[in-house]
Structure 1
Amino acid sequence: MYEKFNREEERYATVVKLSGARKAEREKLISEYQKRSANAFAPQTLRNYQNIISKFQEWCDDTGRSAEPPVAPQVIADYIDAMGGRLRATTIETRLWAISEMHRAAFQPSPCRHRLVELALKAVKRQYGAGVRQAPALCRSESLRAIKLLGNSRLEMRDKAVMWIAMDSWCRASEISAFKVRDLCRQDDGTSLLYVAKSKTDPFGMGAYAFLSESGTAAVLDWIKLARLRDGDPLVTKSQANAKRTPLDPATISRIVKRSTGRKDVSAHSLRVGGVHDAFRIGCDLSAIMVAGRWSSPEMPARYGRRILASNGASAQVAKLITE
């Protein structure tokens, strides 16, 4: 008879089995886990993991604790208390993920699932809140005004292409930096589609498409012609004529948005949020917004648009219609 697979029971059984294994056998398995992790996780994820573990080890050294797995649940609960009020709840949860992964890599049970740890996290959220900071919205009208102010220098032509891509496609900065010239798919009406080979929500490369308007397509084609880019070259790269054709860092794309708009508080993600605001404002339904932004669940676009949704909600409509 079929029995439902229980990941936690299977993991615990593996830990128990390994606890009695010879040291050499255990070290060999841990080494293999580390090698496979290097291929399974994105480079940025691995860098974040190492950074988090380093911070946890520093805290343990400063407080006279040991960071070697297995770490006692009481230690993790105290660590959460120390982070409370200084870090956002989502950041604390990310650090707990890294500590859990450290234990998985050592084939030790994670202390982060212990009830003491759950209660400590719940207490921090209750005392300091669990709200998620959202990037300021940069809506289409403001983005268009910024693009019109850009001139025709090599740098500004590149920046125009970046702004059009970010505004039209609602792509993340990491997705924009990954585009190659061959990912631009022209359409008969003058618009284009951009092939998104991989993304944050598609790490295994199922692929998706993002929209690029007629004006956006023209700006990108002007940049490709000026920079003499070939099919395999990055679509957005350094603006200097003799520069090596390497993809722009995602942080550079955000700097282009700041420079183009003259705003220090925005980033590339602000155009993604602004696109959602515009879509809700003109009455697009949530499913169409999810398709445009390539979201697999409605949680994030609904969160981005909650200010617009509140402004267009039932109470707002009643207030407009019934004035006396």
Structure 2
Amino acid sequence: MEREFDRQTERVELLSMLTSSSGHRRTQLIEEYQRRSEAAFAPATLRNYKLTLRLFEKWCHETGRNPEPPVPSDTIAAWVDDMGGKIAFNTIGTRLWGIAELHRSRFLPSPTRHRLVALSLKGVKRKYGAMQKQAPPLGKKEVLKAIGSLGSSRRDLRDKALLWIATDTWCRASEIVAFRVKDLIRQDDDSSLLYVARSKTDQYGYGAYAFLSAKGTRDVLAWIAEAQLEATDPIITKSQKGGQHRPLDSVTVSRILKRCTGRKDVSAHSTRVGGVHDAFRLGCDLSSIMIAGRWASPEMPARYGKRILASQSAAAKVSQAFDVETAQDNGEEA
């Protein structure tokens, strides 16, 4: 309780100090906050923040409201109501973070913490639900079939390397395109590890490792040799001969997966979801799945495996057991 009181006191003192500061000093602090936030936040976070501000300003102009902070809490509540059913509930939360950050950057109290906004969020969640749209799974069997259909052209060699990395490592697109040749660490059994320097959940670069099978290693090395990549070059780069060795855009990973598999519904995240589905089917425990996908909590892999887990639940096992028992009683084959 004492620590909480001290933090609140510090906030009040800061706001009091800013209120009494000259306009020039306040402007200096706001500029310094902007400079420091650009260094502290990941590029994707900054892009989402700027997108949120553009969308909020557009909505305010369309509805005759003022987007300049401090924004009234009822305006934010009305914006939440308007977003309900149009975008995912989690995305609404991200947009509200952007509005809160806008106010923090001006050293103003955030309207997103007001009870009106909380009630609006509850109303949207109750009416439209909070289910997140999940990428369709792309399991290893289907990926291996796609790899087997590829030839020996430069593009095919590059695509094989990408498909192996995607299906073996369960990495996100941003991680796949960030791998450099020096991140490939060979092991005695001909498999490899890929060093994940940074990720969505590791912005400070503590690092992690992802597994690459022996066959995957073979095809990745074949592509590295064909493209004559150096240690600091990205592994997944353009396939054109003589081109600069630059990493592909994350969106391109999804395009390649669609082209190679012939499925228009998959994305770069599909091999991550598919890997979890395969693991649950094989009876892998949740802790080993978390390690493979580098998850800090069981929430996401459990969410990915909802359908598979339902088929392996106690209810499913009881039904299967009684099906066998009934078949035996009737003299039928189970």
TM-score by length of 2: 0.94
Q: How does 1:114-193 map to 2 (within 5 A)?
A: 114-193=114-193
- Computed over aligned residues only, the root mean square deviation of the Cα atoms, in angstroms, reads 1.4
Q: How does 1:154-303 map to 2 (within 5 A)?
A: 154-303=154-303
Partner of 1:322: 322
Q: CA offsets, 1:75-106, max 9 Å, x none? A: 10111111112122111111101000000001
- Where 1:268 maps in the other structure, the secondary structure is coil
Partner of 2:32: 32
* In structure 1, C-alpha distance between the alignment counterparts of 2:134 and 2:273, rounded to whole Å: 8
* In structure 1, C-alpha distance between the alignment counterparts of 2:11 and 2:93, rounded to whole Å: 21
**Post-superposition shift, 1:12?**
4.2
TM-score by length of 1: 0.97
Specify whether residues 318 and 52 from structure 1 end up closer, same or farther in structure 2 by C-alpha distance, changes over 3 A only.
same
Partner of 1:43: 43
- Where 1:34 maps in the other structure, the secondary structure is helix
- Where 1:195 maps in the other structure, the secondary structure is strand
11-20 vs 114-123, which deviates more? 11-20
* In structure 1, C-alpha distance between the alignment counterparts of 2:246 and 2:265, rounded to whole Å: 27
Q: CA offsets, 1:130-167, max 9 Å, x none? A: 11000000011111111100111100100000000000
Equivalent residues, number: 324
Q: How does 1:80-91 map to 2 (within 5 A)?
A: 80-91=80-91
Specify whether residues 213 and 51 from structure 1 end up closer, same or farther in structure 2 by C-alpha distance, changes over 3 A only.
same
Contact kept? 1:12, 1:109, Cα under 8 Å: no
Specify whether residues 113 and 140 from structure 1 end up closer, same or farther in structure 2 by C-alpha distance, changes over 3 A only.
same
Identity of aligned residues (%): 59
Partner of 2:17: 17
**For structure 1, which runs of at least 5 residues remain unmatched after alignment?**
none
Letter in 2 for 1:227: A
* In structure 2, C-alpha distance between the alignment counterparts of 1:14 and 1:197, rounded to whole Å: 37
Partner of 1:105: 105
**Post-superposition shift, 1:111?**
0.3
Specify whether residues 272 and 69 from structure 1 end up closer, same or farther in structure 2 by C-alpha distance, changes over 3 A only.
same
Letter in 2 for 1:202: D
Higher Cα Rg, which structure: 2
Contact kept? 1:169, 1:212, Cα under 8 Å: yes
Letter in 2 for 1:171: C
Structure 1 segments, 4+ long, off by >6 Å, are: none
- Where 1:74 maps in the other structure, the secondary structure is helix
